[in-house]
């Protein structure tokens, strides 16, 4: 037990946030100046026909066609949080300084798993944790299957050649601290999401990454009761993915160090996740 505690101490998570603010100018059409200067008709001279508008150069696409899979209403409802509430914190807030940045609840969050280096039984464990986050937030998650996309924290949010005309799915996978220096030392995972906004609209998460330290997690899985501990680690990382930050309250799963006795979300975690499941729908993205 001592070794386990030592192993799990300080299992903090480096937060990754890419804030890609997309300019509204990309959406405005040609306007203002007329295409051709009018030609004054002279006696006996026909005016020249107006010149055709010059071709608009195609801009490189930095985002998918809007509203992919977007419904008119949220796809689910968050679980009612405990009435007493609890300690929680959000990674990013909207411009109002109060409302948390969240995923769009009106469309599913797709996720893919890069199984390279995964421990035995690693994948079902991820699905179980995703199901728990989905239940609590009301956000709908859809598993896209395996992906061989390299697990980089600053991966592009839009990869049409790999995933088609939509935001890239959340990518979950396993690495060693040699592959991912952010996992050095006691760090056992890292997760975060990329937020985008358009013009004055709300900021919204569109995709993210969860990286789990396979060499540290594998021996925990092999211990008695280890599966529940690892599932809690994945839950903690998924909490980051959907927008929860660490709290200085060791009664919550979002405490920065893993506590083997705490294997599920606590009151503060549930309170924060309920708000993260009730974000605005953003069909313009």
- C-alpha 130/C-alpha 6 separation (Å) is 27
| Rounded least distance, CB 14 to Zn ion, Å | 8
Binding track over 30-69 against Zn ion, x by CB under 5 A: ----------------------------------------
**Least CB distance to Zn ion at residue 115 (A):** 23
Q: Which residue is nearest to Zn ion, using beta carbons?
A: 13
* 202 neighbors 280 (Cβ within 8 angstroms): yes
CB of 15 to Zn ion, least distance (A): 7
Q: What is the C-alpha to C-alpha distance for residues 222 and 176, in angstroms, rounded to an integer? A: 18
Range 174-213, binding Zn ion (CB under 5 A)? none
- Size of interface with Zn ion, in residues (CB under 5 A): 1
- Minimum distance, C-beta of residue 240 to Zn ion, in the bound complex (Å): 6
Pair 232, 225: CB distance under 8 Å = no
13 binds Zn ion (CB under 5 A): yes
Nearer to Zn ion, 96 or 261 (CB): 261
Q: Let me know: does 239 contact 139? Beta carbons within 8 Å.
A: no
The two tokens of residue 74 are 């949220």
* Cβ atoms of residues 126 and 231 within 8 Å: no
Secondary structure (H, E, C), 161-222: HHHCCCCCCEEEEEECCCCCHHHCCCCCEEEEEEEEEECCCCCEEEEEEEEEEHHHHHHHHC
CB of 13 to Zn ion, least distance (A): 3
What stretch of H or E contains 132? helix 122-137
Cα–Cα separations (whole angstroms), residue 205 to 160, 192, 229, 242, 243:
18, 10, 27, 8, 9
**Are 101 and 91 contacting, i.e. CB atoms less than 8 angstroms apart?**
yes
Range in contact with Zn ion (rule: CB under 5 A) among 7-15, 85-93, 118-126, 157-165: 7-15
Nearer to Zn ion, 13 or 196 (CB): 13
Shortest separation between residue 11's beta carbon and Zn ion, angstroms = 8
Q: Which two tokens stand for residue 215?
A: 């060499």
User: Smallest gap, in angstroms, from Cβ of residue 259 to Zn ion?
Assistant: 12
Considering the complex, state which of residue 194 and residue 198 has its C-beta at the smaller distance from Zn ion.
194
Q: Which stretch binds Zn ion (CB under 5 A): 5-13, 64-72, 96-104, 126-134?
A: 5-13
Q: Please identify, among the stretches 12-20, 79-87, 93-101, 170-178, the one whose residues bind Zn ion according to the rule CB under 5 A.
A: 12-20
- Using the minimum distance from each CB to Zn ion, give the nearer residue, 107 or 240: 240
Q: Which residues contact 260 (CB under 8 A, 6 or more apart)?
A: 1, 4, 5, 8, 225, 229
Interface segment toward Zn ion; rule CB under 5 A; list 10-18, 153-161, 217-225, 268-276: 10-18
- Contact positions vs Zn ion (CB under 5 A): 13
């Amino acid at each position: 037990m001592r070794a386990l505690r030592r192993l799990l101490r300080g299992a903090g998570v480096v937060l990754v946030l890419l804030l890609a603010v997309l300019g509204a100018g990309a959406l405005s059409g040609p306007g203002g100046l007329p295409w051709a200067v009018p030609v004054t008709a002279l006696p006996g001279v026909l005016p020249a026909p107006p010149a055709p508008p010059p071709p608009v150069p195609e801009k490189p696409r930095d985002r998918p066609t809007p509203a992919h899979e977007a419904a008119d209403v949220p796809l689910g409802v968050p679980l009612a949080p405990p009435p007493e509430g609890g300690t929680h914190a959000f990674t990013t807030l909207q411009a109002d300084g109060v409302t948390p940045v969240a995923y769009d609840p009106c469309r599913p969050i797709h996720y893919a798993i890069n199984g390279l280096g995964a421990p035995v039984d690693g994948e079902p464990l991820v699905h179980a944790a995703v199901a728990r986050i989905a239940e609590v937030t009301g956000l709908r998650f859809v598993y896209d299957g395996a992906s061989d996309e390299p697990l980089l924290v600053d991966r592009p949010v839009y990869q049409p050649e790999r995933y088609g005309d939509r935001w890239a799915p959340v990518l979950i996978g396993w690495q060693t601290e040699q592959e991912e220096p952010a996992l050095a030392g006691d760090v056992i995972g890292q997760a975060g999401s990329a937020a985008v906004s358009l013009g004055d609209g709300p900021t919204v998460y569109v995709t993210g990454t969860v990286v789990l330290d396979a060499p540290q997690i594998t021996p925990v899985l092999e211990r008695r009761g280890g599966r529940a501990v690892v599932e809690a680690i994945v839950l903690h990382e998924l909490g980051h993915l959907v927008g929860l930050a660490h709290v200085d309250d060791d009664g919550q799963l979002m405490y920065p160090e893993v506590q083997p006795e705490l294997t599920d979300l606590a009151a503060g975690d549930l309170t924060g996740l309920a708000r993260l499941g009730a974000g605005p729908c953003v069909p313009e993205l």
